[in-house]
Amino acid sequence: MTDRLSVEQQLQAAFPTLVPDPPSGNNMMRYRLDQARLPEIARYLHGQMHGRLALLFAVDGRPIAQTYELHYLFAVGSRQPWVLLTTELAGEHRLFTSITPSIHAAQWYEREIRDLFGLIPQGHPDLRRLIRHEHWPKGTHPLKKDFSWDTVMGRQQGNYRFRHIEGEGVFEVPVGPIHAGIIEPGHFRFSVAGEPIMQLEVRHFWKHRGVEKLFEQQLLTAAVPLAERVSGDTTIGHSLAYCQAVETLLRIDVPRRARYLRSLFLELERLHNHLGDVGAICNDTAYALPHAHCSRIKERLMQLNDRLTGSRFLRGVMCVGGVARDVDTKMLAETVNELNRIETDFSELESIIVANASLTDRLETTGVLTERTAWDHGVIGVVGRASGIDQDVRRDRPFAAYDEIPVNVALYRYGDVRARMRVRMDEIHESIRLIREIRHNIPTGPITGEPSRSPHHGEWALSAVEGWRGEILYVVMTGENGQIHRCKVRDPSFVNWPAIQWAVIGNIIPDFPLINKSFNLSYAGNDL
């Protein structure tokens, strides 16, 4: 309560007439504002209160109301309530004031809203299409309620207007969107003068699947399989975030044993992904030995996942109300024993990696993302912590069992490829430690809870989970008869992709695969 009053008092001191809505139960303070006031208050939250713009999304209120709502979610400090600013566009009004000129993290959010809802951010410095590629028919805005989910669109011709740097000796090098191997599509356009990169422009959203539109065709309790498939390497992170939001709406008390098992599965997902990344970073420097060993260790973890749940990627584990699979005492002991062996194996490999001077030389000062740039763009997760951004949802807004098993957050300030690899290495050890704690402290009891209410139309809940890449956010709003009216999904990749454009400046093009791998962002999670 003290934290809530602290944030509220700061805002009221600066804006005496500002009054929050009654508490919503989401550990959130919500302010309804007219369009004229919102940019000023958003700038104050960001600049004076050091609030991070965590999410910006729109909702089409039809058929209940002929309005659109815009929601600006700010994270202000650790263990403090979220601050939500809400404004409304009524009738045929489609213009809203852009906050991008002063809050850079809003840039892609506002372009996304324009593409998917047809609402126009006035004053935005870049109004090119983001998600709607130029072959989409003009006037197509798929998240409007009068746009049917099964619409078959025609195709039109069009060209994307890339930014160009003019000057003698400046060359553009296009890479992608189709790449060798099994990597997903993404286009990268480099401007170089000699060898140093002067500019990188990222052009993504080649595989838009309409996930948020598909959520609107689902019942609240039936959409977990869809959440699992938002980003295939983050099954637990996304399904857990979705389940938590629905459980808030249905007022389900998730049993303690289920909360511990959720933390177990989330840490297992973090482990196999981080191990794969450490090996892949080494491989991109032609250091094949650690890559081979990390791949071997990762395979042991994937087989462990399969023995625990029947799925190497931990699918079918999460359900609304708890978990679908229990893990008995014998299997928990076997899990910890296997992780102890893996940690010994990895520690030996880690000492070899750290002692390799040529590898260190290759990784240090490569792809530096400064703390200021990371903050300006709202960077989160592994990439943020490697650049000095001290944020982790498990510690700052505990969920699952993290209120009972505190997390030690890995933090580095160099912001280079080596720092991003070191964060992953530290988190591998921390995840194993947390799983030992889970085994030691897990209580007995049921693994699912039951709903205690049926939500009304228009109610919504926010959920945050620290996935292996970083903070995952879900906002779920109820419709009629248990349907979903709106489900906003925010994978950490959507936040971090714009920042990679700054990390590569001054490096050379052969550095880019290494820098890109150290970010390791999802194309599918970015493009819903």
CATH number at residue 53: 3.30.460.80
Sign of the C-alpha dihedral, residues 428, 434, 440, 443?
Answer: negative
Domain assignment present for residue 86? The answer is: yes
Together in a domain, 381 and 514? yes
Per DSSP, 122 falls in state E
pLDDT at site 452: 87
| pLDDT computed for residue 117 by the predictor | 95
295 and 439 share one domain: yes
Task: Choose the final residue of a domain: 103, 122, 141.
Answer: 122
On whether residue 152 sits in a domain, the answer given is: no
CA–CA gap between residue 385 and residue 412 (Å, rounded): 6
In the prediction, which pLDDT does 159 show? 87
- Helix 256-283 to helix 288-309 angle (10° resolution) is 160
Of 122, 140, 162, which closes a domain?
122
Residues 201 and 512: their CA atoms lie apart, in Å, by: 13
pLDDT at 139: 87
Q: Which residue type, as a one-letter code, is found at position 442?
A: I
Q: How far apart are CA 525 and CA 508, in angstroms?
A: 27
CB 70 within 8 A of CB 117: no
Q: Residue 356 CA to chain centroid, in angstroms?
A: 33
CATH number at residue 360: 1.10.645.10
Give the pLDDT score at 291.
96
| Residue 133 forms part of a structural domain | no
Peptide bond into 63 cis (omega under 30): yes
- The tally of domains found in the chain comes to 2
SS3 196: strand
- Residue at 278 is within a domain: yes
Do residues 344 and 488 both lie within one domain? Answer: yes
- Give domain status of residue 27, yes or no: yes
The Cα 129–Cα 121 span in angstroms is 12
Q: Which residue has the tokens 């964060």?
A: 423
Of 69, 67, 14, the residue nearest 42 (C-alpha): 14
Positive or negative, the CA dihedral 157, 163, 165, 166 is positive
Mapped onto helix, strand or coil, the DSSP state of residue 87 is strand
**Do 315 and 461 fall within a single domain?**
yes
pLDDT at residue 251 in the model: 95
Q: Using CB atoms within 10 A of its CB, is residue 79 exposed (0-12), middle (13-18) or buried (19+)?
A: exposed
| Maximum Cα–Cα distance across the chain | 71
Token representation of residue 171: 């060359």
**Residue 26: per-residue pLDDT:** 62
145 within a domain of the structure (yes/no): no
Same domain, 219 and 117: no
Look up residue 506 and give its two tokens.
């001054």
Q: How far apart, in whole angstroms, are the C-alpha atoms of residue 453 and residue 386?
A: 43
pLDDT along the chain (528 residues), means of 10: 67 87 74 92 93 96 88 90 92 91 96 96 95 90 92 87 90 89 88 93 92 95 96 96 96 97 98 96 94 96 96 96 95 97 96 95 96 96 96 96 96 96 98 97 96 88 96 95 94 96 95 95 93
Amino acid identity, residue 422? R
Residue 2: predicted pLDDT: 42
Give a yes or no: residue 330 inside a domain. Answer: yes
Q: Is 6 within the bounds of a domain?
A: yes
- Compute φ and ψ for 68, nearest 5 degrees: -115, 140
Global confidence as pTM? 0.95
Single out the residue in 107, 122, 137 at which a domain terminates.
122
Residues 239 and 358 in one domain: yes
Pair type for strands 318-319 and 322-323: antiparallel
Task: Say whether both 104 and 223 belong to one domain.
Answer: no
What is the model's pLDDT at position 25? Answer: 53
3-state DSSP helix/strand/coil % of the chain, to nearest 5: 40, 15, 40
Structural domain boundaries enclosing 501: 211-526
pLDDT at site 3: 53
Nearest Cα to Cα of residue 528 among 233, 240, 134, 205: 205
Q: Rounded to an integer, what distance in angstroms lies between the CA atom of residue 311 and that of residue 303?
A: 9
